[in-house]
Amino acid sequence: MIKTALRACALAIVAVATMASAASALDRRVRINNESSYDIYEFYASNTGTSNWEEDILGKDILPAGSSVIINIDDGSGYCMFDFLAVFEDGDEVVSANNNVCELTDFNFTN
């Protein structure tokens, strides 16, 4: 009787740990750090392999130099691999390809 109860508790713990790990694998929030000396005026994230940058995630906002923002990069597709595009105040564009947003927690744009 006690063995059965202990076994049931152990199975419950394993189930909770598995669900927590699966949930964190679906977390596509990434902190974008602007470590450059220029403000980021536009930021895009699109599935790797697509030719469309979708919409400017920052919208009317900017990401000032030295600042950061947490962005949920979940587009509902279930994909983890995304390309990033930052457009800076001086017009320069920086592309970073093949970012795994299911594992990535921070991404840095630098000069």
89-107 pLDDT, tens per residue?
A: 999 999 999 999 999 999 9
- Whether 40 is in a domain gets the answer yes
CA–CA dist 6, 12 (Å, integer): 10
User: How many distinct structural domains can be found in the chain?
Assistant: 1
CA–CA dist 75, 28 (Å, integer): 9
> In the β-sheet with 29-34, what is the strand arrangement from edge to edge?
68-72, 29-34, 106-109
38-96 pLDDT, tens per residue?
A: 999 999 999 998 889 989 999 999 999 999 999 999 888 899 999 999 999 999 999 99
Structural domain range at position 95: 28-109
Which residues are within 8 A (CB) of 70 and not within 5 positions of it... i.e. 6 or more apart?
A: 29, 30, 31, 32
Domain harbouring 94, CATH code: 2.60.40.2890
- Whether 48 is in a domain gets the answer yes
> Which structure tokens are listed for 101?
């947003």
CA–CA dist 16, 101 (Å, integer): 23
- Whether 43 is in a domain gets the answer yes
